[in-house]
Structure 1
Amino acid sequence: MLLEDLLFKPENSLVVQSRHSRLGAETINGDGFGVGWYGALDEPGVYHSTEPAWNDRNLREISAHAAAGRVFAHIRASTGTDVQQTNCHPFRHGRRLWMHNGAITDFAAVKRDLAMAVDPALYPGIEGSTDSEVFFYLALTFGLEEDPPAAVARAVGLIEETGRRHGVEHPIQMTVATTDGDTTWAFRYSSVGSSRSLFHSTDISTLRLQYPDNPVLHEISDDARLVVSEPLGDLRGAWREVPESSCLVVRGGHEELRGFLPTPARG
């Protein structure tokens, strides 16, 4: 699909959400944005900007011409770190993309301990100053490229252990999405048990039968799946909420829902 079919055209597109988020912690997400997509090369392409998504002419121009079969897009509301390109999601390492919605609580207090837990061989790849990027590199350290659910569980376990050692009652709030270009994993979890919203689309072929006159449903393939922080429209039956403390795995036209809980980082 063209990127604009996801970023601009839907009723509640990501660009609309950047100014008028219905379910986010912040109504306005104007501290930059990023898009990652898989094209002709092994590594995904990324485009980052510190402009608000609604105000970036280049995003509209690129999205009207670039097409891909797998797209990651993120709008940012800073939780305290600088507004700069290296702090914009999605983050990339090799073929892997990563996005995080939420925060590591009192990140300044735990940053050093968490950063020192990153594999020294991976550490030079950290370019920005966000909690989300440190989280990504912790997951890489714990084996994200081999077993994403286990790696994220160990990274979250370490974040919670570290936070509580520093007196933080609820160390993490998160929805996370990561992909290797073939499979996407999306996680919903928080230490307080009330996480950021997360939804996934339902079967497209079923929706076509329910809404035969909706042209959008006839432009995308049967195996299309969307994972979003909030629905892109109000089409009844089109979206299912991802439950609390769970991991959604999307591969091809199939999705699998699993439970998710942190595990001891050194277990």
Structure 2
Amino acid sequence: MKSDVFPLNYFKSIWSPKQIFKNRHQLNWFQIFVVLLFVNSLLMIPVALNYVKMDTFPVEDTLPGSFGLIDETVVLKLQAGNYENGTLELPESFDLSTENGMVSGLLTESETDEALTADNALLFQETEFVIKEGDQSLETIPYTKDFNLSKVTTVAELKEALSRQWFIKNKAYTVATLMSLVFSITLVSTLFLTFGSAIFLYLTKKSKFSSINSYKESVNLLTNCIGLPSFVALLLGLIQFDIIIMLMIQSVGLVMMLLIVFYQTRFNDKTSGKEVKKAFGGKSS
């Protein structure tokens, strides 16, 4: 297979500073966008692996009205229950009302309908709990087999246990939403870094020493430069995930690669190694 066809030509171009500069003509605009999507997807691999390992989610930030109803009284009521194979038994039903909403346990059908008229509600039934958050639609969360609140002693522990139940049901949707959000943020960062920096690189065409003749060449050059730093960010993200550090590695790495390209080529196709050394005060052999 020929090595000058896309995308092999791109991978051939990212390892050597001289090749990075020399091959700044190879990609068309469609290929440039494909490559930028690819390098952005590299950053998403550690993100996906990190989110897949999640077993809970801070639901209180998403459902502040209903989760804000939980207090010590609710903890004591649920702590007294008996939990077995995803079912809840209570010594007696309870109904705790405030001006902000209602928390109840094992109500009758008619009592449940009345409880759901509150602005916010958290209803614990025999095999599930129901969340009502303002004008949002009701959400029913089934208990898992290991669901047990008998050892929960604080409000924070109860919220965490309920968040875990909520996340088990909504994991696919939540992870997909978070992935989409992070992908959008990193993609905007990658595009801004590449196309924004290309503007300044394009301005070097006014210098008689620069061989860069078009904005597309500048973008292609920076697309070549960003490849290797993105792979480095991927590897470090697999070792220790931190999306902020990964983006910093990508951006700083891009700048470093561009400086190395400038050092070796002076952005000029005719510059030789000896001329570069001479330009920087070195001795030519």
Asked whether the two chains share a fold, i.e. TM above 0.5, the reply is no
TM-score range, shorter chain: under 0.3
Report which structure shows greater RCO (CA 8 Å, sep ≥6). 2
Question: What TM-score, normalized by structure 2, do the two folds share?
Answer: 0.20
TM-score of the superposition, structure 1-length normalised?
Answer: 0.21
The structure where strand makes up a greater share of residues is: 1
The structure having more radius of gyration, on CA atoms, is 2
